[in-house]
Amino acid sequence: MSKKKAEGTNLLYQLMSEARTYDDVIVMGRGDPDFDTPAHIVAAAKDAMVNHHADYSPPEGLLALREAIADRVKRVNNIDVDPATEVVVTNGGQEALFLMVLAVLSPGDEMIVPEPNYNTYADSLAFAGGVKVEVETYVQNDFRADPADVRAAISDKSRALLLVSPNNPAASVISPPDMREMLDIAISNDLMIIADDIYDLFVYDDFTHLSPASLPGGLERTLTLNAFSKAYSMTGWRLGWIVGPADLMARVRELKAAISGGTSIISQHAGIAALTGPQDAVEMMADAYRRRRRLVLDALDAMGMKYGLPQGGQFVFADIGFTGMDSGEVAQRILSEQHVLAYPGSAFSKDRKNYLRMTFLQPEDQLIEGLERMKVAMHNIMADR
Amino acid sequence: MASENKSEILAEHAANSALNKPALAPVARHNMDLSADGLRSPLDERIIAASSEALEAGHTHYVDVPGIAPLRAAIAESLNDATGARCEPGNIIVTAGVQESRFLTIQKIGENFESIAVPAVAHPGARKALGVRARNVIPLSVDAERGYLPPIAAISEVVAGGCRLLYLESPSRLSGAAYTADEVAAIGQALRDSGASAIWDQGLAPWVDGDCPSLAADEDRPALFTTIGEAFPGMGLASWHIGYIAAPEDQIPAMQSQKQIMAICTSTAAQYAALEASNLFVEARGLRMSQLSQLKSRLIEVAADRGLDVVTGDAKNIIALRASEAGAASLRDAGFDFAEGASFGAPAVIRLNVNAATADALQALS
């Protein structure tokens, strides 16, 4: 009897499960920063345990945290929201993503999705009964989502446009002119926008992130997510947010109450400290990712691998088409032989079977060692062809 | 330019009465708030220490989707001891609170069935969870004289009618009434005979004196029954949002996958706190139960003295009363908040937490 081949999220979990069995594994797969949460945030959590452990929080989150979020999105993204009615706190970016999709899509509705994209969008869309309409992007254009292709994908069932910038896994950033055109398309075709800004603090070189909700006419049709996980290295705290227009946010609030009821009071107090406290750690981490990105790209160049230039984010999406093998098999072989975990592109899109996603969320010495091992694995793969 | 798409979304939302059911708070908002689902409890210093140490040790990253292994083991052991279940850690998913447990079970186990029977009187969170994605809901009639629990005959009837998944609460989240051991055995029999499954909310069971019979203890077909509840209630963790699902092994992968899709994992601070709470729970519960039992007995006397109509209930942490509109209004006017039976499906009932302020509330009500 043949074993069913794991796909999508299940494939990633299968690989992660195997990775845990190796003592010397180097993880370049999961988007979990190697840095621990900054000490002042942990201290705020401890204080909350003593002084606020039994406080009430409404499903949408503590007002103090929503105010801090409103300040943050104004300062960083130039989005104007009312913390009383236009912010909902979530159990991480993942719950935010799920809520946004459920808030906007009904069964049969189409969402236009520039590919490749974070696999959970497809999973959430499937739960909602929505239909994914893919818009291709190409490595030779650094995975730029072309507004003309988006326009061509619109049908009478289109209800939403997904804009993840910087993108996961392709690490492309939608340029300001393209973002303005995307918004024009959304307005002229009456599409809602689901915007994922989770990597907005990690943009490289001269690239610029622009939030669609910051543009005239943008906020009223856009739900924007972000989270503490990547910027503050708080993946285990499960804390994120959605901002958007009050009428749609009322729906998001009810969905949040229905799905999980609320968000841990301790994580929320930690989040207040993160947003209102010193930001040195964020800058330190951003500097580290900048250095590591260069290191990874140099190694890939030395291996002769093609990739889309990571304009933002915390990873690189590299073309392994030269191996002639499916990315799932390549990722499996690199893991089994060299104990290096990279994510197969096929987990993000069925059409990305010749890509690997590699994160730069490990210390530099680990990254160097991981890339050396990967080089050996690639050499072995090519020698076996 | 007005968006027709958005107008449609908002119109669909406005029409979704299940999703728009009021959400009950996990803890009281103020001293005269008697509406909360959970108890306002002190937090033991050892729990603070354990959670703090975990955070300082770097447990601030993603953990396994179904929860950290020692907590899953602790929850399994606690359920086995309390209910006679035979759970292994692999049967447990740690959730971000009991509402997430409701949502995951109702929606994901529900995917395998054409319909789900839900008591006419049930926690509003169950209806909210059903409102997220349309399901075919079969109403299950309840017996007001039996604390609004569905009678065995009603359960048998929906099963005979072809419904193969039931959502049941014992104790009732409105009245605290719990099925007896004989009734649980009869329910198990009725479900087994037709191969029907059940989601069994036993979150209030720790607040029943002695053992609170659970379907989880069913010896013949445990593979049919899934239980949910708050993890270690009364330990000061209500605002931390931590709950559990104990499910047959074959149900776990789909719910685990959905948990990954919608949350990845549960807060590590809460998980390590719950792990320490598991060590203190039995002793703390005993102490709390003794306080609650005394309080509730006194409240029942006060209610009788004032001619109030108390609904039968076994759980000591809540007291439900039949109250007129005027009575409820006078309670509101006196500054008290309470859970309205209407949001459960029983309009003429109110639910109050049992605590020091409840006697004053009864005074205002009378």
CATH number at residue B172: 3.40.640.10
B59 pLDDT higher than 60: yes
B50 domain residue, yes or no = no
Q: Do B27 and A56 touch (CB under 8 A)?
A: yes
Contacts of residue A128, Cβ cutoff 8 Å, sequence gap at least 6: A101, A102, A105, A106, A107, A109, B133
Give the pLDDT score at A9. 75
Distance from CA of B127 to the nearest CA of A (A): 8
B113 pLDDT higher than 70: yes
pLDDT tens for each residue of A204-247: 999 999 999 999 999 999 999 999 999 999 999 999 999 999 99
Claim to verify: residue B77 and residue B208 sit in the same structural domain: yes
pLDDT grade, residue B355 (50/70/90)?
very high
A8 pLDDT higher than 90: no
Claim to verify: residue B231 and residue B355 sit in the same structural domain: no
| Domain stop point among B235, B252, B280 | B280
pLDDT tens for each residue of A28-86: 988 999 999 999 999 999 999 999 999 999 999 999 999 999 999 999 999 999 999 99
A181 pLDDT higher than 90: yes
Distance from CA of B363 to the nearest CA of A (A): 26
Please tell me if residue B325 touches chain A, with a CB cutoff of 8 Å.
no
Distance from CA of A64 to the nearest CA of B (A): 16
Which run of H or E residues covers position B201? strand B197-201
Claim to verify: residue B97 and residue B116 sit in the same structural domain: yes
Give the pLDDT score at B1. 64
CA A329 – CA B80 distance, rounded (Å) = 42
Average pLDDT, chain A: 95
A2 pLDDT higher than 50: no
Neighbour-count burial of B342, counting CB atoms closer than 10 A to its CB (0-12 exposed, 13-18 middle, 19+ buried): middle
B17 pLDDT higher than 50: yes
Average pLDDT, chain B: 95
Considering only alpha carbons, which residue of chain A is nearest residue B45? A50
Q: Do B239 and A264 touch (CB under 8 A)?
A: yes
Claim to verify: residue B314 and residue B255 sit in the same structural domain: no
Chain B residue numbers with beta carbons less than 8 Å from the beta carbon of A106 are 9, 12
Alpha helices in B196-338, H assignment, sequence order: 252-262, 268-305, 325-333
Chain A residue numbers with beta carbons less than 8 Å from the beta carbon of B270 are 264, 266-267
Closest CA to B73 of B274, B308, B349, B283: B274
Overall residue count recorded for chain A in this entry? 385
Claim to verify: residue B144 and residue B251 sit in the same structural domain: yes
Q: Which pairing describes strands A131-135 and B337-340: parallel, antiparallel, or unpaired?
A: unpaired
User: A8-30+281-383 in CATH: which number?
Assistant: 3.90.1150.10
Residue B333 maps to which CATH number? Answer: 3.90.1150.10
Please tell me if residue B241 touches chain A, with a CB cutoff of 8 Å.
yes
B324 domain residue, yes or no = yes
B239 closest CB neighbour out of A53, A237, A255: A53
Give the pLDDT score at B237. 97
B66 domain residue, yes or no = yes
Please tell me if residue A248 touches chain B, with a CB cutoff of 8 Å.
yes
Question: Which residue do the tokens 């690239």 mark?
Answer: A207
B292 domain residue, yes or no = yes
Claim to verify: residue B270 and residue B298 sit in the same structural domain: no
Q: Do B4 and A190 touch (CB under 8 A)?
A: yes
Claim to verify: residue B206 and residue B332 sit in the same structural domain: no
Q: Tell me which of B193 and A385 has the higher pLDDT.
A: B193
CA A254 – CA A366 distance, rounded (Å) = 44
pLDDT tens for each residue of A323-343: 999 999 999 999 999 999 999
| Domain stop point among B280, B303, B323 | B280
Distance from CA of A268 to the nearest CA of B (A): 10
CA B222 – CA B202 distance, rounded (Å) = 15
A315 pLDDT higher than 80: yes
Claim to verify: residue B78 and residue B18 sit in the same structural domain: no
User: A52-276 in CATH: which number?
Assistant: 3.40.640.10
The range of the structural domain enclosing residue B332 comes to 4-43+287-364
Give the pLDDT score at B165. 97
Considering only alpha carbons, which residue of chain B is nearest residue A11? B257
B223 pLDDT higher than 80: no
What's the distance, Cα to Cα, between the start and end of chain A in Å? 28
Considering only alpha carbons, which residue of chain B is nearest residue A99? B262
- Please tell me the total count of domains within chain B: 2
B97 domain residue, yes or no = yes
pLDDT tens for each residue of A88-146: 999 999 999 999 999 999 999 999 999 999 989 999 999 999 999 999 999 999 999 99
What's the distance, Cα to Cα, between the start and end of chain B in Å? 55
A54 closest CB neighbour out of B6, B236, B264: B236
Q: Do B270 and A264 touch (CB under 8 A)?
A: yes
B210 pLDDT higher than 70: yes
Give the pLDDT score at B220. 65
Q: What is the ipTM of this complex?
A: 0.97
B54 domain residue, yes or no = no
Considering only alpha carbons, which residue of chain B is nearest residue A42? B55
| Domain stop point among B265, B280, B295 | B280
B48 domain residue, yes or no = no
- Over residues B19-44, the mean pLDDT reads 93
Claim to verify: residue B80 and residue B163 sit in the same structural domain: yes
Domain boundaries, chain A: 8-30+281-383, 52-276
Give the pLDDT score at B222. 62
Question: pTM of the prediction?
Answer: 0.96
Claim to verify: residue B274 and residue B291 sit in the same structural domain: no
Contact status, residue A228 vs residue A240, Cβ threshold 8 Å: yes
Chain A residue numbers with beta carbons less than 8 Å from the beta carbon of B239 are 53-57, 262, 264-265
In chain A, what percentage of residues exceed pLDDT 70?
99
B308 pLDDT higher than 50: yes
Claim to verify: residue B123 and residue B223 sit in the same structural domain: yes
Tell me the two tokens of residue B314.
Answer: 């076994």
Chain A residue numbers with beta carbons less than 8 Å from the beta carbon of B99 are 257-262
Distance from CA of B281 to the nearest CA of A (A): 17
Claim to verify: residue B118 and residue B267 sit in the same structural domain: yes
Considering only alpha carbons, which residue of chain B is nearest residue A238? B267
B134 domain residue, yes or no = yes
CA A339 – CA A293 distance, rounded (Å) = 21
Considering only alpha carbons, which residue of chain B is nearest residue A262? B241
pLDDT grade, residue A3 (50/70/90)?
very low
268-297 in A: which are within 8 Å (CB) of B? 270
Looking at chain B, the number of H-run helices and the number of E-run strands are 12, 12
Chain A residue numbers with beta carbons less than 8 Å from the beta carbon of B58 are 36
